[in-house]
Amino acid sequence: MHVTEVTGQKKVPVIVEVLEKVDLRKITKARFFFKWEQIYNEATLYKLVFADKPIIIGLMALVDFPSEYRIEIKLLAASADNVGKQKYYEGIAGCLITYAVKQSLEKYGSLACVSLKPKTEIRQHYINRYGMQTAGQQLFLEDAALFNMINIYDI
């Protein structure tokens, strides 16, 4: 996987790892817009870091619903310096969503589904950018849309 530098369009390799409890000390609300320690015991947390240095640029919380063949993205955030028009890197959310997609496909095969409940103001962005479909308050990816995410972000 990679993110892209906004200024030079250089592709920078990244990896997703499980967030360890010691990592919580590095995560501030100012940088990631949420107190991630509040959800540490409710979900499995993941961090997106550069492949060559342990700088966290994205976070995601996943909850597995085996009876529904679904993994829910409970929280998803790029670091504050990678949000909006002044961001340094593009593709952080796409990489994290793709990681959730791969986890779901690995566990549930052809029945796999990834969902999230977005904030109202970015709902349309998820539909337009990632091809998510509406299911009430939730948005989801299934079938071909899962593989589309892998084809775009897991190269």
Q: What tens digit of pLDDT does each residue of 79-138 get?
A: 999 988 889 999 999 999 999 999 999 999 999 999 999 877 889 989 999 999 999 899
The 8 Å CB, 24+ separation contacts for 76-82 are 76/116, 77/32, 77/33, 77/34, 79/31, 79/32, 80/30, 80/31, 80/32, 80/33, 81/31, 82/57, 82/58
- Domain extents in the chain: 2-153
Beta partners for 14? 50
Residue 27 has pLDDT above 80, yes or no: yes
pLDDT at residue number 31: 83
22 or 119: which carries more pLDDT confidence? 22
Q: Are 103 and 62 in contact (CB under 8 A)?
A: yes
pLDDT at residue number 84: 85
Residue 41 has pLDDT above 90, yes or no: no
What's this model's pTM, rounded to 2 decimal places? Answer: 0.93
pLDDT band at 67 (very low <50, low <70, confident <90, very high): very high
pLDDT at residue number 61: 96
Give the Å distances, CA to CA, from 24 to 15, 32, 39, 61.
18, 11, 11, 13
pLDDT at residue number 8: 87
pLDDT at residue number 133: 93
Q: Which CATH architecture has domain 2-153?
A: 3-Layer(aba) Sandwich (3.40)
pLDDT at residue number 32: 86
Residue 71 has pLDDT above 80, yes or no: yes
pLDDT band at 141 (very low <50, low <70, confident <90, very high): very high
Please provide the average confidence, as pLDDT, over all residues in the chain: 92
